[in-house]
Amino acid sequence: MLISVIVPCYNEELVVNETYKRLKEVMSKVEMDHELIFINDGSKDKTFALLNELAQEDSCVKIINFARNFGHQCAVTAGLHNCNGDYAAIIDADLQDPPEVILEMLDLMRKEEANVVYGVRKKREGESWFKLITAKYFYRTLNKLSDVQFPVDTGDFRLIDRNVIDAFNSLPERNKYIRGLISWIGYKQVPCYYERKERFAGETKYPLKKMLKFAAIGLFYFSKKPLKLATWLGFLSVAVGLLYAIAIFIARLVNPASFVMGWTSIVLLVIFFGGVQLLTVGILGQYVGNLFDEAKGRPEYIIANKINL
């Protein structure tokens, strides 16, 4: 039996050695062989050199080196595509998800005969209030909008078995929202509660721009409800238009002198309907853009080289 640990790394020179040490300690307690797959996602610092040193000393360390920065989700996907394990654990490089929790996940998986054990964050230390609030409401909103039910407060930190790895690897989707896709795959999935720690060192590699892109993929790939919003706004516009027509008509009957004064209301209506139309076009644009991405069929990532794989 083999367990693959998948670790995406982007500019993590301050943490990779420590991560390796902690993962090794944990793996020494697991009665299985292990491989540690580090994906170097186009780091601009010494991450790759450090990983290389580790790979030279320890053949369990395997490296997938991307040709440039493709993003966290692509890195994890590449790890899953290339892993040989009967189980795969997905974990961040920054030790925010304590590697020791993998042991609990393995226990739970055995006890519950589950196929997926996903980490649920009980508490999150050392993260900005902005991140905490946006994350909290994002997962809850997405859950309401989506056709698939997702567990809330869950990241990609999880343990999955070969059935799920194979199912995941057969998905043709290019912009992947991994936590959503794994929920969508199904099988038996159980939560494992843990406390998310502060980053061991360095800074977050998820600035607002990446967070928004990630959120948009989650939303537009898992929900068609925004398209319905366009229809509802259309109805609303018609209703407002009708009510306003009636109001004008009555005003004209009751007080014929007043109906010339209409500048404010005309401007308001123009703004309102303009807004509704732009919003609707924007939502359509998002879906068309996603279709465009999928239609191009470009690979999700380009691997420059692999080491020990």
- 45 or 58: CB nearest ligand UDP: 45
75 interface partner picked from ligand UDP, Mg ion, none, CB below 5 to 8 A per type:
ligand UDP
Question: Which amino acid would we find at residue 3?
Answer: I
Q: Does 13 bind ligand UDP (CB under 6 A)?
A: no
Please give the structure tokens belonging to residue 10: 């982007």
Binding residue for ligand UDP (CB under 6 A) from 3, 9, 95, 106? 9
Say which DSSP state 4 is in: E
Q: How many CA atoms lie within 13 A of 277 on its CB side?
A: 7
Please give the structure tokens belonging to residue 231: 């229809």
Binding residue for ligand UDP (CB under 6 A) from 59, 169, 204, 231? 204
Q: What spatial distance separates the first Cα and last Cα of the chain, rounded to whole Å?
A: 18
x/- mask, ligand UDP, residues 78-117, rule CB under 6 A, reads: --------------xxx-x---------------------
Asked whether 157 and 97 are in contact (CB, 8 A), the reply is: yes
Least spacing, CB of residue 205 vs ligand UDP, in Å: 3
| Phi and psi, residue 249, nearest 5° | -60, -45
Q: What is the radius of gyration, based on Cα positions, of the chain?
A: 25
The stretch near Mg ion (CB under 5 A) out of 5-13, 90-98, 245-253, 260-268 is 90-98
x/- mask, ligand UDP, residues 25-64, rule CB under 6 A, reads: ----------------x-----------------------
Q: Could you give the CA distance from residue 134 to residue 207 in angstroms, rounded to a whole number?
A: 13
Q: Could you give the CA distance from residue 124 to residue 150 in angstroms, rounded to a whole number?
A: 19
Binding residue for Mg ion (CB under 5 A) from 12, 13, 94, 161? 94
Residue numbers at the binding site for ligand UDP (CB under 6 A): 8-10, 12, 41, 69, 71-72, 75, 92-94, 96, 204-206
